[in-house]
Structure 1
Amino acid sequence: MKDCPMKFSRMFGRQMHGRVAGALALCAALTFAGMGAATAQGVSIVSDAETEAMLQEYANPILKVAGLDPSVVKIHLVNDRRLNAFVAEGQQMFYNTGLITIVETPDELIGVMAHEIGHMAGGHLVQRREHIDQLQAPMIASMILGIGAIAAGQGDAGMALILGGQHLATRGFFAYTREQEASADQAGAGYLQRAGISAKGMLDLFSSMRDQEMLSEERQDPFARSHPMSAARFNALEERVKASPYFDRAMPPEEVHRFKMVQAKLYGFLDEPNVTFNRYPPSDKSDYARYARSVAYHRTGALTEALTEIDPLLASDPKNPYIHEVKGQILFESGKIEEAVTSYRQSVDLKPEDAQLHLGLGRALLGRDGEENARAAIPHLLTGTRGAAQPFGFYQLSIAYGRLNDIGMAELATAQYYNALGHVKEAKMHATRAQKNLRQGSPEWLQAQDLAMQTPPEGRG
């Protein structure tokens, strides 16, 4: 907010201060809109291999037809129960757990993804930041002139200047935002058609968003507030979507089943167990209900009941790596280390390209004593952290190297752990220690050097 003249607010009496606060708040909002979305919104990132794999597979065909490289785009899962999704600079996409559990069909989720990819491919973040820069200068100028007029005793004229600048900036900003939202609608619908996917889910979800706009702001989902759906915009989207030859193409039953399994798993982990048991009572013998209840029972410490629910799922779908992973987690956190290793190993054998499954197996192997198990864990933990900022994986690596008395690598892993958390000062300290214990010029020494020489972001230690 360095461009906002906050220091002038002390010049006004209580009544004037309150009226000017709206203009200052808008200045702050415009400034934050140009920041990285994750930082500005203070999101809480969580990891789940199954959910992220599903999101990635949904996004890949859309990204390809949009001219984006799926291997470069990073998908993040946000621990937030509200229906929301957004993109950030650096080709990053963020999806709330609430979005995944609230939507009724995978088609609706895919529709949101197509819309957000429309923003990304259209370069809307950069364009919006440039537009904000254009709006801020005249608004701040009118505020300074207005403040000067008030200080000179011309209160009404000063307030007119301030509020007039605010009004014009607000109108300009939201008019531009509406244009971008409509553009993302059309682009997303076009991407879905080119990928041979129905956009009916997008239309269904955005139709319900119009009902959201009838609610008070406190009761609206963030997605409805940030994506206002005018009648003209909805009609234009409806015309485009219904013209697609794939409009009536239904999602395969196995994909619907997969989606509902992910929803059930998230309910099991995120809801209180009693809420899960009410949502999925014992009389419900569906796969989804068993999946959710297995997690809920585990969270109450009822291992026998948890295994009773999850074992039938493995009997009917023994090649599902993620059910093996959940069973491994249940066993590991219940102190059944040997059984957990077996389950995690099965999950990795079924999907060796999934980095997070390797992290689970690495952790389970570290649950055993001895240097041999530490050595066995390291390759899996390295696979799990390769190319990704995984604090959990780096922390586990530091333990494994510490058991082997490899101080240089333990310090490097600790530095990477702190760096992944954004604690640059601590990362630099441990990286410097790592360099003293690593062979100069080795790849590991060079990694430590890069971490030791980095500059902390402004305002961070």
Structure 2
Amino acid sequence: MDARSFITDTEIELYIRELSTPIFQSAGLSPSAVDLYFINDDTLNAFVAGGQNIFFHTGLLMATETPEQLLGVIAHETGHISGGHLARSGEALRNASQNALLGLILGAGAALATGRGDAAAAIIQGSQAAVQGSLLQYSRAQESSADQAGIRFLESNRESSKGMLEFLSTLSGQELLSGRSRSPYASTHPLTRDRIAFVEEQVKSSRFSDKKLPEELQQKHRRMVAKLHGFIRSPARTFKAYPDTDTSVEARYARAVATYRLPDANGAVALVDELLADNPDDPFFHELKGQILFEAARPADAEVAYRKALETLPDAPRIELELSRVLLALDTKEHNEEAQTHLEHVVRLLPNATFAWRQLAIAYGRNGDHGMSALALAEEAFRSGNERDAALQANRAKQKLKPHTEAWLRASDIEGISTPRDRERKKDPPPKKK
């Protein structure tokens, strides 16, 4: 199977969450129950898989020219969720590997394991995204149904469906391409002239067709595209797409990221400082500066940047995780104690962030709490699917923790869940071939 990369990025996720939330609510979905995943893949695709999970390829995000176009994609994919289309796709489910789908979902969660807060550094290899092609073959009827539902959600929010039409028009050109050149979205979401005609008619008749999303969202969209370009494209391509003559915030942002990737840490910091001079409270510029400084082996300076980022955006566990890494790198008694406090908060908010559990194990160990350190390692192994290590570390934690405390009981749970399956494999080995 082809490997793909998942990315995690606080800025991008918050923007798409802001864009999506009204659509989810109109569909009768709890926004917090819908998980968003971002795949570092240059092809144009977005899809629903494994329930209320929406996957976006970075190629699609970068191809959308406006937030209205991206909103149209979100509304359409939400239509698939609300219509239960994936559950009804019996043929697709029969042709797909359920283990591969599980790998896709777990791989996206494992993107958190790197603990990185930016679009490039958060990439983790190893997902099994080849399952998409076989699992996500929607029928033309389902596509039309998703269009209708998506437009209904847009109308209920008094938003234009023109962005959806623009995106479908982009896809209509893809339909004419050969299989290899055609985007996965065009292949898995069959397009018909009737679908385009239906959306065109809705655009003509809607009172909201000429309505634009607020300028703040327009800016966030441009920043998202520029940031992804800086991290994913080569620096040369980014400098060409965002030349020095372009003095917009997003262009300067892209050039700062590209300069960092040359690599030129001093030049990148200088460019970020120029952005901060105009936007002193922007948490994501501080976050980028912290990353550059930390990777340039300047943890004390990175600490200042990450603290400012977290101060201006306090509900950002991934930034808090980055600050914790820096504190552990500074490795003083005070820094280690503070890192432990932050990391305990992070794992409450991001319980599947295996890298956070590993960092927490380090913090506990340095602070002399070896029982909790072993429990954190057990959590890391358990959430990574490593049953053998989870059972071993949980047993080790139980030997060091006070019996019947909450932590001891959690260690017992992990050991109990992990050990039986491991023993069953030992007891019943596969039969030998004659």
TM-score (norm 1): 0.77
**What is the letter of the counterpart of residue 147 of structure 2?**
D
Q: Determine if the alignment matches structure 1 residue 372 to structure 2 residue 334.
A: yes
Matches of 1:118 and 1:248, distance apart in 2: 22
1:163-202 Cα offsets, whole Å, 9 max, x none, are xxxxxxxxxx999721111111111111111122222111
The match for 2:152 is: 190
Partner of 1:450: 413
What corresponds to 1:142 in structure 2?
Answer: none
The aligned residue for residue 6 of structure 2 is 45
Q: Does the C-alpha gap of structure 1 residues 313 and 415 become closer, same or farther in structure 2, counting only changes over 3 Å?
A: same
Report which structure shows greater RCO (CA 8 Å, sep ≥6).
2
Q: What is the CA deviation profile of residues 132-181 of structure 1, one whole-angstrom value per residue up to 9, with x for unaligned ones?
A: 669xxxxxxxxxxxxxxxxxxxxxxxxxxxxxxxxxxxxxx999721111
Structure 1 stretch displaced more, 173-182 or 189-198: 173-182
1:214 aligns with 2:176: yes
Q: Deviations over 1:232-290 (max 9, x none)?
A: 12212222343322211112222211111111111111122222222223333221121
Q: Answer yes or no: is the 8 Å Cα contact 2:161–2:202 preserved in 1.
A: no
Q: State how far apart, in whole Å, the 2-side matches of 1:431 and 1:174 are.
A: 39
* Residues 198, 41 of structure 1: alpha-carbon distance in 2 compared, 3 angstrom cutoff: farther
1:451 Cα deviation from its structure 2 partner = 2.6
1:407 Cα offset (Å)? 1.7
* 1:341-377 Cα deviation digits (max 9, x unpaired): 1111111111111211211211121121222211101
Cα gap change, 1:312 to 1:72, in 2 (>3 Å): same
- After TM superposition, list the pairs within 5 Å mapping 1:323-402 onto structure 2: 323-388=285-350, 389-402=352-365
Conserved 8 A contact 2:51-2:81 = no
Q: Give 1:334 shift.
A: 1.0
Q: What SS does the aligned partner of 1:284 have?
A: coil
Matched, 1:285 2:247: yes
Structure with larger Rg: 1
Shift of 1:108: 1.1
In the alignment, the residues of structure 2 paired with residue 285 and residue 217 of structure 1 have an alpha-carbon distance, to the nearest angstrom, of 40
Residue 408 of structure 1 and its aligned partner are, at CA, apart by 1.8
The correspondence for 2:64, drawn from 89, 103, 112, is 103
Q: Which runs of 5+ in 1 are unaligned?
A: 1-39, 135-172
Q: Using the alignment, how far apart are the partners of 1:205 and 1:43 within structure 2?
A: 24
CA distance in 2, matches of 1:382, 1:81: 36
Distance 1:410 1:346, change over 3 A: same
Taking the aligned partners of 1:42 and 1:412, their CA distance within structure 2 comes to 31
Match of 1:125 among 83, 86, 90: 86
2:55 aligns to what SS in structure 1?
strand
Deviation at 1:416, TM superposition (A): 2.4
Please show how residues 52-131 of structure 1 align to structure 2 within 5 Å.
Answer: 52-129=13-90
- Mapping of residues 252-291 of structure 1, within 5 Å: 252-291=214-253
Q: How many residue pairs get matched?
A: 383
> In structure 2, what is the equivalent of residue 321 of structure 1?
283
The 1:326–1:79 alpha-carbon spacing in structure 2 relative to 1, beyond 3 Å, is: same
1:384, distance to aligned residue in structure 2 (A):
2.4
What is the Cα deviation at residue 107 of structure 1?
1.1
| Residue pair 1:186, 1:240 contacting (<8 A) in 2 also | no
Change (3 A) 1:72 1:336: same
The one-letter code sitting in structure 2 at the alignment partner of 1:443 is E
- CA-CA distance at 1:42 after TM superposition: 6.0
Partner of 1:226: 188
Q: Note the C-alpha offset of 1:335.
A: 1.5
Which residue is 1:422 aligned to? 385
Following the alignment from structure 1 to structure 2, what is the Cα–Cα distance between the partners of residues 175 and 396?
40
Mapped partners of 1:44, 1:174: distance in 2: 19
Deviates more, 1:290-299 or 1:418-427: 418-427
Name 2:115's counterpart in structure 1: none
Residues 391 and 420 of structure 1 are in contact (CA less than 8 Å); yes or no, is this contact kept in structure 2? yes
Structure 2 length-normalised TM: 0.82
Cα deviation per residue 1:421-458 (whole Å; 9 max; x = unaligned)?
3333333332232232222332323333333233669x
- Letter matched to residue 335 of structure 1: A
User: Percent identity between the aligned chains?
Assistant: 40
Q: Does 1:412 align with 2:364?
A: no
Q: Which whole-Å CA distance do the structure 2 matches of 1:425 and 1:242 have between them?
A: 61
The letter of the residue matching 1:289 is A
Larger mean Cα displacement after TM superposition, 316-325 or 61-70: 316-325
Map Cα deviations across residues 25-72 of structure 1 (whole Å, 9 max, x no partner).
xxxxxxxxxxxxxxx986532211111111111111111111111122
CA change 1:72–1:436 in 2 (3 A) is farther
Contact 1:357 1:384 (8 Å CA) reproduced = no
Contact 1:189 1:241 survives alignment (8 Å): no
Specify which of 239, 254, 271 is matched with residue 309 of structure 1.
Answer: 271
Instruction: Please tell me the residue identity of whatever aligns with 1:434.
Output: A
> Cα–Cα, structure 1 residues 386 and 77, in superposed 2: closer, same or farther, change >3 Å?
farther
> Which stretch of structure 1 is more off in the superposition, 327-336 or 383-392?
383-392
Give the drift of 1:229: 0.9
Partner of 2:101: none
RMSD value, Cα: 2.6
| Residue deviations 1:185-231 (CA, integer Å, cap 9, x gap) | 11111111112222211110011101101001101111111111100
Shift of 1:397: 1.2
252 and 228 in structure 1: CA distance in 2 versus 1, 3 angstrom threshold: same
